[in-house]
Structure 1
Amino acid sequence: MSNAASPKGGVAPCSTRVMNLSNFLTQAARRYPEEFALVWGEKQWRWSEMEARVNAMAYALANEFGVKKGDRILVQSANCNEMFESMFATFRVGAVWVPTNFRQTPGEVAYLAEASGATLMICQAPFADHARECSALSAGPRKFISIGASEIGEDYDATVARNLGKVFKPEAVDRDDPCWYFFTSGTTGRPKAAVLTHGQMAFVINNHHGDLFPGTTQRDRSIVVAPLSHGAGVHQLCQVAHGVTTILMPSDKLEIGRFWSLVEEWRVTNLFTVPTIVKMLIEDPSVDDYDHSSLRYVIYAGAPMYRADQIKALQKLGAVMVQYFGLGEVTGAITVLPPILHSLEDGPQARIGTCGFERTGMQVQIQDDAGDEIAPGETGEICVIGPAVFAGYYQNAEANAKSFRDGWFRTGDLGHVDEQGFLYITGRASDMYISGGSNVYPREIEEKLLMHPAVSEVAIVGVPDPVWGEVGIAICVLQPDARLDGAELRSWLDGKVSRYKLPKKILFWEEMPKSAYGKIAKKLIREELERRGEIDGTGQKLSA
């Protein structure tokens, strides 16, 4: 046989069949039928109950609503038991879960419905306007299920009730069969649907358990403080895989005192969130009113945590902080900074500013514009390969062509690695600006500004300038009762960074614009600067 005809590796191709992800729920129900799977306010569901409800909804999706393998199911809902169940019911029928962020407008959700090709929509009753807008699309969903009483669609709980006890066999799936369209946040344009698959997600779940919260068992408890539509949904899927109880906040508003009371009541051991939420949790006085010694892993992602905030969190919570870096397209699995590498002291072991080292099974490379690897210490684009990388963007050949190069996924983030492979993020490529011919990376200056005791939050954006090409505008939120003006803060910063990096202007706002996931969003900051007349529609600075 010639080499050209030989199969790869010298063996015949084998099956790519993998476990349907919904089987994690079935496994937990078999092992721990009477233990709690989910807690939401005063309601509690045991694993056996949740398995029965998911099976009933899967039966209804296939036999009453005609959902077939590969169909897309759009879900518009705040966190609740039905939304959590919808993930597993969708997986079970071999369909694709398309969750939205519930804070999006009806028009934004209609775009997601159209972009995903969804044929059915599960919509919580308060969002009936979203369902109506989707139903008006020429190629939008034609079947609807309502969570709660609504004039649109079949009632979710009634559908479950009439199908309890009916037998449904989970759909067979292959490694590359899609299970989740993970929509990007769209901070630089329209959201794109990153296609996550059953095989990829199985790797991610194992990777999360190995790298983020090792030793997690059914005795652990996990609390949810972010929408299940994105990173929190991945985190909770991992918890189901090991039979961990999930606790939802009673309302979609983050009541910090209630959060800490639930941590104490349920002896919560882990949570997933973003740095801005960690900051809110530890700075609220209620953190000292409740026992949080049960916490083992406080996992934060979405953005690096500023050093000043990191120290506060370590002082308040102890050695429980876990940072990971990873976009939705890589399902959170690029680097990890475990608790042992979070240090209170600013010494050699602290590695201040790093987001950690490569996740198990993943490889990171810093590349120049030509796609060549550059030396440690040099800044370039962070690129990654490995089984956690998504399958590509759904029906978006242009975005796929831009995002992949020689098999590497291009994150769009800038950074460098040290000699030991620890990654340092400089910022988004789109955040960098050029002032007087020199590259300025806002994060470096933001870190310094946050060391001032009066500054609580900060963001720097680059804007056009007729003399320097571009200059920085710093937006700051002060600590409660703090007093500070721009000249004082600029003088304090002078000498801590190069003169060309000093913001041209410093503004003080009551609050910082944030995305629906609690992250400081520079796209929203630019829009607010324009609204306030600080820059014009092209980003040009209007005032000195």
Structure 2
Amino acid sequence: MITHRMLVTMSLAYLADVDAVSPDDATLYAAPMSHGAGLYAMVHVLRGARHVCPVSGGFDEAEIFELARLHGRAHMFAAPTMVKRLTAHARAGGARCEGLRSVIYAGGPMYLADIIEAVDHFGDIFIQIYGQGECPMAITALPRSDVSDRSHTRWRARLGSVGRAQSVVELRIGDGEGQEVARGQAGEIMVRGDPVMPGYWQNPEASDKAFREGWLLTGDVGVMDNEGYVTLQDRSKDMIISGGSNIYPREVEEVLLTHPSVSEVSVVGRADAEWGEVVVAFVVPRAGALIDEAALDAHCLEQIARFKRPKLYIRVNDLPKNNYGKVLKTELRARLNG
């Protein structure tokens, strides 16, 4: 259930923690309006900004660049895959995307290599937020100053995080019992505050399971550092347990994406009689590149523990995604079990 109070709080949090909006601004609806782009319409109505719906009705890189140039001071909400596509299109054509002032990204993992490349090309236009349907758009924010900063000694760690708690929520990392863990220790991200849902519609059992003593259990595993920056490790349901050790797919994906032959990758677990689960990587190669398993293995062993490296690499032309650009890991698991 989404209440009026949740949406008001979320909209005010945007102005306090994410970005400024004025009547001179324009918001581009290039992502599905059933998700973040539509939710952010409210704050732009509140501030009297312009609203631009692409004629294509979807996400087209050239159209976005042209609309930004035409309207100026453009904002847009985008999934990380959209940011990656914008960067690739701009680099291929030498475009700088004049008029695009702010890109708010969320909705899936933003890999370090991709956001570094995007900032290098476009500059300080990117802001990250983290939320979910149960607390829409309002759990954490990583401001443009942190996204573009390269001077701090821990800038990479900050850039790999989802930022700090937005001003309208309380945030903590909890153990299996919901008790707060020490800083730097992994656990479930828990949130409470006005943007959090009161429960699921006509489903009291699911509502009871979603909360512990007033705290929403997000289902996301994360770590909070001493400055309050939260780094997502993965969805708890996506964690791989192999030989009794926890393996977070995103850590493996981040490493593989730094190999020059890899364009996209998604890591999942496959049931195994000996190990419980083994790591499998679905890899989309860069144009003209070959997938050399030995080279990818060596690359992984340079940066992560041996037990975390994939036992199998599967070359694919593309990864299955929903209309929001999020990789459908359930479909990849189904392929392994099919």
Q: Select the residue among 186, 191, 203 that pairs with 2:9.
A: 203
Q: Is 1:312 the counterpart of 2:127 in the alignment?
A: no
The 1-side partners of 2:86 and 2:125 are apart by: 14
Deviation of 1:364 after TM superposition, in Å, equals: 0.8
Please say if 1:465 is aligned against 2:267: no
Equivalent position of 2:56 in the other structure: 251
**Which of these residues, 14, 19, 35, is aligned with residue 213 of structure 1?**
19
Query: Secondary structure in 1 aligned to 2:104?
Result: strand
**Secondary structure, in 3 states, of the residue corresponding to 1:467?**
coil
Cα separation, 2, equivalents of 1:509 and 1:503: 15
Q: Does 1:439 align with 2:241?
A: no
Aligned identity (percent) is 37
Would you say the 8 A contact 1:260–1:287 is kept in 2? no
> How far did residue 291 of structure 1 move?
5.3
Aligned to 2:316: 509
CA deviations over 1:447-493 (Å, ceiling 9, x no partner): 11111122111111011111111111101111222222223212221
Q: Is it true that 1:371 corresponds to 2:178 in the alignment?
A: yes
Deviations 1:90-142 (A, max 9, x none): xxxxxxxxxxxxxxxxxxxxxxxxxxxxxxxxxxxxxxxxxxxxxxxxxxxxx
Amino acid at match of 2:293: G
For residues 133 and 119 of structure 2, the distance between their equivalents in structure 1, rounded to whole angstroms, comes to: 27
Say what the alpha-carbon RMSD is for the aligned residues. Answer: 1.6
Provide the rounded CA distance (Å) in 2 between the counterparts of 1:413 and 1:496: 24
Residues 29-108 of structure 1 aligned to structure 2 (within 5 Å): none
Alignment match, 1:453 = 260
Q: CA deviation at 1:328?
A: 1.3
SS of structure 2 residue aligned to 1:277: helix
Cα pair 2:24 2:73 within 8 Å, conserved:
no
Match of 1:520 in 2: 327
Which structure has the larger Rg over C-alpha atoms?
A: 1
Partner deviation per Cα, 1:210-239 (whole Å, 9 max, x = no partner): 21112x110001111111112111111221
Partner of 1:151: none
The letter of the residue matching 1:474 is A
Of 270, 284, 288 in structure 2, the residue corresponding to residue 477 of structure 1 is 284
Q: 2:33 aligns with which of 214, 220, 228?
A: 228
Question: Normalising by the residue count of structure 2, what TM-score does the alignment of the two structures yield?
Answer: 0.95
The equivalent of 2:72 in structure 1 is 267
Give CA deviations for 1:380-424 in whole Å, capped at 9, x if unaligned: 100000111012110011210110110000000001100111101
Q: Which runs of 5+ in 2 are unaligned?
A: none
Separation (CA, whole Å) in 1 of partners of 2:306 and 2:281: 15
- What is the alpha-carbon distance in structure 2 between the residues aligned to residue 288 and residue 497 of structure 1? 36
Cα distance in 1 for residues equivalent to 2:92 and 2:289: 22
Offset at residue 318 of structure 1 (A): 0.3
Q: Deviations over 1:246-278 (max 9, x none)?
A: 111112342221221111111142110110111
Post-superposition shift, 1:349?
3.2
Correspondence for 2:155 among 329, 349, 357: 349
Q: Distance in 2 between matches of 1:511 and 1:442?
A: 18
Q: Among 225, 229, 253, which residue is 1:422 paired with?
A: 229
Q: CA deviation at 1:288?
A: 4.3
1:280-295 equivalences under 5 Å are 280-285=85-90, 288=93, 290=95, 292-295=97-100
Distance 1:356 1:362, change over 3 A: same
Larger RCO: 1 or 2 (CA < 8 Å, sep 6+): 2
Aligned residues between the structures: 336
Equivalent-residue separation in structure 2 for 1:407 and 1:435 (angstroms): 33
Where structure 1 has 5 or more consecutive residues not aligned to the other structure, the ranges are 1-194, 537-544
